[in-house]
Structure 1
Amino acid sequence: MAEGTMDRWLDKGTMQALRIILIGFALFQIYTSFAGMMEPLVQRGLFLGLGLGSVFLLAAADGSRGTWRRMGDIALALAGYYVCFHVALNNQRLSDFMAELTSFDIVLGFLALALVLEGARRTIGWFLPLLALAGLLYFYLGYGYVSGPWQPPRVSTLTLIETTYASTETIFGYMVDMGTRVIAVFIIFGALLLSTGATEIFIKLATLIAGRSWGGQAKVCTASSALFGTVTGSAVANVMALGPITIPTMHRAGYTKSYAGAIEAVASAGGQIMPPVMGAGAFIMAEMLDIPYSSVVVAALIPALLYFLTIWFSVGFRARKMNIRPLERSEMPAARELLDPYTALPMYLPVGVLIFMLAMDLTPTLAGATAVATLIGTQVILRGAQCLIEGRSRDLGATYREYLRQVLEGLYEAGKAIAMIAVLLACAAIVVKVLTATGAGVKVSSLILSLSGENIILVLILTAVLAIVLGMDVPTTASYILAAAVAAPIVIKLGVAPLNAHLFIFYFAILSAITPPVCASVFAAASIAKVNFWKVGGHAVVLALGLYLIPFLFIFRTGVLMEGSWLQIAYDTGVTSIAIIAITAASTGYFFGPLNWPLRIFVYGAAALLFYPAAWSDIVGLAMIAALAAVSHFREPRPADAAEAQPATFKLTGRVGSE
């Protein structure tokens, strides 16, 4: 067969097979979410198998790769499907405690581990797979090469494969279980919302909320990312979905491309802590702590609001400083556009059903699946009704064909995302298993305790650094899982409540997505804005400066996690909000007016006092803010203040195109 003919066959055949498999993968997850999970090794074997094989098949569908490389990818895909399906097909034998593994089982076990590592490398880069490989070598060979307190127990080949492959302990363990039982259905929900046009409703709603305030264009980005993040829980997905719309809009308003990219990156990262869905790590957190998911949602609500409050005031202060005006009234969407049942109801109703079911403490699996069914059913009814009411009955067939195309596209994109998540979870599970099986996690915890002298502040700082470092080049979920396995026991040992400790780690895992030198959402935003990554990263760090302090309040001002009386919750939230506004003002250089460096240092000092959890520091800090407000009130009005009363103008000159 000629090479050109072979390429055409690969292009057509691989894409058709891939679409069928990934759409079927998504449908399988919807079915089991309603019908109930199968036997553990069957459900998880099918889940990881479909994900692992499809990661390689996605590479085979890339027409830019050479013919023989693509053929090799197909072979790896078939191997990926088989090694996991083998476990599913032999689940009864492998579940028998007395069963002996065959030589074929052992060979497939080593092959499965190698494929998981390679699949993770192709999906998320080198860091996590290399960490997992080092862990496996330490677990399997460490006894013969490492001595002293770090020597792991002796492990045979049979024990290695039984632990990592032929059981529900590692790559078919609870992390993959969370993927198939909870995470997948929410990925499907977000993908279907996107494919059926919900992004436009999110942006219109955000524009109505924020467009008429100072920095309205940037606040629209912030609000839309918060709304969109409630159903996707992915920083990069938010950036890629909304960035092509919001970044050029902010740039046209007068923000530089790099600052616009930073706003989108920071706002999108916050979607992972925004209830009701949050990120995949939140579901794993509830599972690890054995608490209802609603408890995590309630505790995360105020921190999420504080996160977006930081961005809100940062872009607002910068807009006033640069005199970037609010949107014109003519550019605002009409309220009726957000109440049109044909376009808005298919978004509001499924999200409302999801929130209601989670609030009722029904399982996230059932809540997510019901939201998916509500979304699909609502659109089927409303699209047909619209055709009939408008007298376009002959368009029914075309309308439903287009809707079917959108649904299938959403299922395909969901299948791709689930495949990558499945491989990521399996790879992270290897690292966590090594940490627990060898005792290395306890030893690292002891090392952190000794370095900190068991000082809670130093332990928290080291934990924060650990979560950010582990977040380099890996998604938030993996960063949180790894950091929680090592650091959470230490923080809890020092008297911090388990949920507080895990939320602290989860928050910093989210911040790793915007912290240079390796930060996925910043890379994504820089690529859309077509500017230097470091410029976007620098703006992101300054923009998010207050965010790095918020998690420490989970330990010292626990009212922000809805703990204590309503008075305590209101007090802690109020003081924290003022502290965040102050530190944001100092970083931006504008508060009640432009701030020179002595005033900025003064405001930084007030913010630092408010972050310190003591009555005297609260009084002094609030007094400093009040004094600055009083002095600013009697100062001469500035041109930017006078301009506030003038008619708003959206188009600016002189800044657009500057960098």
Structure 2
Amino acid sequence: MRHSSAEASPWQRRGTQALGALFAAFVALHFYNALFGQFEPLVQRPIFIGFGLGGAFFLYAARAARTGGRNGLERTIDITLGLLAFGVCLYVILNRDRFSDIMVQYGPLDKAAGLLAVLLTLEAARRVIGWFLPLLALITVLYYYFGYDLIDGGWRPPRVSARTAVETFYSSTTGIFGYLADVGARVITIYVLLGALLLSTGATDVFMKMATWIAGRTFGGPAKVCALSSAMFGTVTGSAVANVMATGSITIPTMKRLRYPPAFAGAVEAVASSAGQLTPPVMGAGAFIMAEFLNIPYTQIAVAAMGPAFLYYLAIWLGVDLYARRTGLQPTPKNEMPKPADFLAPDKAIPLFLPIATVVYFLFQGYTPSFAGAASIIVLILACAAVRPFGRDTREQGLKACWTGLVRDVYEGMVEAGRALVMIAALLACAAIVVKVLTATGAGVKISNLLFSVSDQGLIVALLLAAVLSIVLGMDVPTTASYVLAAAVAAPSLVRLGLPELTAHLFVFYYAILSAITPPVCASVYAAAALAGANFWKVAGRALVLAGAVYVVPFLFVFRPGILAQGGTGQIVLDLGVASAAVFAVSVGLSGYFRGTLSIPGRGVFLASAALLFYAAPMADIIGGLALTGLIVWRFMRGERQTLSTG
């Protein structure tokens, strides 16, 4: 017999409640660790990974039970696999002292546990993020263990024994329980919890109303609201697909109701949602991993990312504005515009903005990211408790309902954080296998050398190769995984060509983000097309046109380091100003509209002026700036060729 979610059996309801309690307990433990210190590595990291792997199988079983999609035996197998995942990680915890002994002898049970841990990691990752990364990890494992006997020449890996393989992947603080698991357990967990709590306590509504008030009455207002709300929402969640599903479920129907083309509505949401991971102050998991890679403060990455994030959203804003003016897309109707009191009321604004301000304050005061995140969570809960009793809802429903609602919101946020961490933990464990093989066999260095040699030591060619590689590695995997892989193989070749490490890593990180909107495999576009009810290829094509200027931004900050806040104030202002002009010129050239429709030669002239502004050379700046200024004056002298109603 099949049960819908509304007809769930008592056992299914109890199972769902137990799973929710497990998620809440897991994030509560890491919240405690953020405040009072971590356990030793071979305790903390197996807890994090064990939860992720086991939770993936449990979620699969729970989802199948709700929909009736799998029979009882299959669900029993899922639960058994989840228990085994917990078991192999618990085995490491119980044997950590023995495994830490350099003279340890591995028995059959140790080897079986190690093999099972790798297999469970691959299967859990397959279930939560698809085939690409687990298949890549399987290939690397086979290469690592059997490559010596099967491959000759320079790509032949060292001979590996079963004992070395177990130690590499399982029983030490490398491999599955390496530094990626450390970052996940120590930092990422606390920020996923913070984001989930902000959303469960009402941030989505505040973001949407604020964005509507700022941009709703401009040309293409609803689409610009989508871009702004996605930027604000994305800096909290750090997940492109989650961003699409959360804000897109509101913005896309709104745009369609106002007769915006469905493909355009989906494209705006997909493109806008993907850059949340690049938007300070919180950003996403990839930024915290980058800080570990480079051994620099997270604040340095957040400051450097401000310029690229600004240029990204500038490109979207211009793309939307020019398309709206050309096609006559109307602003948000006046009667649907929110009032400032709708999002600036103390019971709504304080619980959102005070925790974010707390994060920024503690990070820039030199505290660890985990402590800053934990402190902001405390501030969030205290702020909700302090201001909610004075809100309109409390006056209508009573104080008891207020406290009950707060407890419910906090608990639901903890459960949602646990669900999100299942994917992150499985992803990090799987990516760690690939990275470990690349470093242990020297394959990563060989690939980097290959890129270096193919580029013939030319920076432009190397940048193009690194960009393509980052996008390809991002197919069908979240940004975090694609960045980790690209950082292991592409970033070193860019550093060898003279780029600063931070610039090289931000370059590949940016294109890893763009993989979410680059066909043929682009998760954000898939999600947005489904919400919009539009053809995937139409949404993807519109997204590429809309985001065309976005693809040149990483090249701009390579040649204009002021965009990354490097150099003096004058350099930063100059580089950002010139880069903004270049983005404007590219947007006009790709859209084919500015104060009227442009001919093909006219579009080409705008693109040529952008090319002149590309390099950080004084003469190019002068000529490009004068050319663009002349083009703008020319278009204004012709007059607006189309007058649109502002509704």
Normalised TM-score (structure 2): 0.96
* Letter aligned with residue 518 of structure 1: V
Aligned AA for 1:37? Q
- Residue identity matched to 1:634: M
Change (3 A) 1:529 1:328: closer
**Which residue of structure 1 aligns with residue 31 of structure 2?**
30
Question: Any residues of structure 2 matched to 1:524-563 within 5 Å, and which?
Answer: 524-563=527-566
Tell me what 1:634 maps to: 637
Pick the aligned partner of 1:368 from 353, 373, 377: 373
Residues 251/494 of structure 1: CA separation in 2 closer, same or farther (3 Å cut): same
Does residue 1:248 correspond to 2:253, yes or no? yes
Contact 1:592 1:629 in 2 (8 A): no
State the match for 1:140 in structure 2. 145
Counterpart residue number, 1:448: 451
Change (3 A) 1:636 1:418: closer
Q: Structure 2 CA distance, aligned partners of 1:581 and 1:256?
A: 24
Report the AA paired with residue 158 of structure 1: R
Aligned length: 639
Q: Percent identity?
A: 52
Query: In the alignment, residue 237 of structure 1 is paired with which amino acid?
Result: A
Distance in 2 between residues matched to 1:603 and 1:138, nearest whole Å: 50
AA matched with 1:258 = A
CA contact (8 A) 2:240 2:276 kept: yes
Structure 1 position 72, deviation (Å) = 0.6
Choose which of 186, 189, 193 in structure 2 pairs with 1:188.
193
Distance 1:162 1:636, change over 3 A: closer
**RMSD in angstroms over aligned alpha carbons?**
1.8
- Aligned to 2:87, which of 72, 82, 86? 82
Residues 1:577 and 2:589 aligned together: no
Give 1:387 deviation, angstroms.
8.4
1:326 Cα deviation (Å)? 2.6
Q: What CA distance in whole angstroms lies between the structure 1 residues aligned with 2:402 and 2:622?
A: 63
Instruction: Quote how far apart the aligned CAs of 1:401 are.
Output: 2.0
Aligned equivalent of 2:57: 56
Match of 1:233 in 2: 238
CA offset digits 1:574-595 (Å, max 9, x no partner): 1110110111111111123221
Paired residues of 1:387 and 1:396 also in contact (CA < 8 A): no
> For residues 16 and 212 of structure 1, what CA distance do their matches in structure 2 show?
45
Deviations 1:448-475 (CA, angstroms, capped at 9, x unpaired): 1221111111111100110000000110
Q: Secondary structure at the match of 1:578?
A: helix
Deviations 1:473-524 (A, max 9, x none): 1100000000110111111111110001000010000000110111111111
**Aligned counterparts of 2:466 and 2:522: Cα–Cα separation in 1:** 18
Does residue 73 (structure 1) correspond to residue 74 (structure 2)? The answer is: no
Map 1:415-494 to 2 at 5 A: 415-494=418-497
SS of 2:296's partner is coil
1:378 aligns with 2:383: yes
Shifted more, 406-415 versus 239-248: the winner is 406-415
SS in 2 for 1:237: helix
Aligned to 1:653: none
- Of 295, 309, 313 in structure 2, the residue corresponding to residue 304 of structure 1 is 309
In the other structure, the counterpart of 2:172 is: 167
The equivalent residue for 2:349 is 344
Q: Measure the CA separation in 1 of the matches of 2:597 and 2:529.
A: 29
Q: Deviations over 1:548-577 (max 9, x none)?
A: 111012221111111112111111111110
SS across alignment from 2:102: coil
Q: What are the Cα deviations for residues 102-135 of structure 1, in whole angstroms up to 9, with x where unaligned?
A: 3211111100000000000001111100110010
The 3-state SS of whatever aligns with 1:283 is helix
Q: Which residue of 1 aligns with 2:12?
A: 11
How many angstroms apart in 2 are the aligned matches of 1:43 and 1:10? 32
SS at match of 1:639: coil
Per the alignment, residue 594 of structure 1 pairs with 597
Alpha-carbon spacing, 1:388–1:620, altered in 2? closer, same or farther (3 Å)? closer
1:218 and 2:223 aligned: yes
Indicate the SS of the match to 2:348.
coil
Please say if residues 394 and 401 of structure 2, whose CA atoms lie closer than 8 Å, have aligned partners that are also in contact: no
Amino acid paired to 1:473: D
Question: Alpha carbons of 1:92 and 1:448: their partners in 2 closer, same or farther (altered >3 Å)?
Answer: same
Matched, 1:327 2:328: no
Which one of the candidate residues 519, 538, 542 is aligned to 2:522?
A: 519
Question: Relative to structure 1, is the Cα distance of residues 314 and 91 closer, same or farther in structure 2, using a 3 angstrom cutoff?
Answer: same
Is 1:610–1:621's contact at 8 Å kept on the other side of the alignment?
A: yes
Counterparts of 2:285 and 2:40, CA distance in 1: 23
Counterparts of 1:235 and 1:204 in 2: how far apart (Å)? 21
Going from structure 1 to structure 2, the CA distance change for 1:555 and 1:391 (only over 3 Å counts) comes to closer
Return the alpha-carbon distance in structure 1 between the equivalents of residues 640 and 188 of structure 2. Answer: 53
Distance in 2 between the 1:410 and 1:416 partners?
10
Over residues 322-364 of structure 1, what are the superposed CA-to-partner deviations in whole Å (9 max), with x where a residue is unaligned? 1223334443221222321112211111111112112222111
2:596 counterpart SS class: coil
Match status 1:280 vs 2:285: yes
C-alpha distance in 2, partners of 1:501/1:636?
Answer: 44
| Aligned mates of 2:642, 2:598 — CA distance in 1 | 15
Once the two structures are superposed, residues 30-75 of structure 1 have per-residue CA deviations (whole angstroms, 9 ceiling, x without a partner) of: 1111111100010011111111101000011122222111011011
Decide which of 151, 154, 159 is 1:154's aligned counterpart.
159
Structure 2: tracts of 5 or more residues without a match = none
| Residue 47 of structure 2: aligned partner | 46
Aligned to 2:108: 103
Equivalent AA in structure 2 for residue 532 of structure 1: N
Deviation at 1:212, TM superposition (A): 2.3
Higher mean C-alpha displacement, 422-431 vs 364-373: 364-373
| Structure-2 change in CA distance of 1:303 and 1:92 (3 Å) | same
Partner of 1:404: 407
Amino acid at match of 2:51: L
Pick closer, same or farther for the CA change 1:44–1:606 going to 2, 3 Å.
Answer: same
1:122 and 2:123 correspond: no
Alpha-carbon separation, structure 2, partners of 1:265 and 1:139: 38
Instruction: Judge conservation of contact 2:58–2:78 (CA < 8 Å) in 1.
Output: yes
Paired with 1:463 and 1:114, the residues of 2 have a C-alpha distance of 31
Contact conserved, 2:53 with 2:422, CA < 8 A, in 1?
Answer: yes
Q: Equivalents in 2 of 1:364, 1:512: separation in Å? A: 27
What is the rounded CA distance, in whole Å, between the counterparts of 1:446 and 1:562 in structure 2?
30
Q: Which residue of 2 aligns with 1:652?
A: none
State which drifts further: 11-20 or 228-237. Answer: 11-20
Do 2:220 and 2:331's aligned partners in 1 also have CA atoms closer than 8 Å?
yes
Would you say the 8 A contact 2:180–2:429 is kept in 1? yes
Q: Residue 569 of structure 2 is aligned with which of 559, 566, 569?
A: 566
* Aligned amino acid, residue 24 of structure 1: A
Instruction: Look up the match of 1:270.
Output: 275
CA distance in 2, matches of 1:456, 1:139: 32
CA distance in structure 1 between the aligned counterparts of 2:180 and 2:393, rounded to whole angstroms: 47
Between stretches 65-74 and 14-23, larger displacement belongs to: 14-23
Residue 544 of structure 2 corresponds to residue 504 of structure 1 = no
- Give, in angstroms, the shift of residue 90 of structure 1: 2.1
Contact 2:592 2:603 in 1 (8 A): yes
The corresponding residue for 1:257 is 262
Question: Distance between the aligned counterparts of 2:622 and 2:595, measured in 1?
Answer: 20
The alpha-carbon deviation at position 637 of structure 1 amounts to 4.3
Q: Distance in 2 between matches of 1:516 and 1:388?
A: 45
- C-alpha displacement at 1:626, in angstroms? 1.7
Give the residue type in structure 2 aligned to 1:19: G
Q: Following the alignment from structure 1 to structure 2, what is the Cα–Cα distance between the partners of residues 40 and 209? A: 47
Displacement of 1:623: 2.1
One-letter identity of the residue aligned with 1:497? P
Higher mean alpha-carbon deviation, 464-473 vs 597-606, is at: 597-606
Describe the SS at the equivalent of 2:286: helix
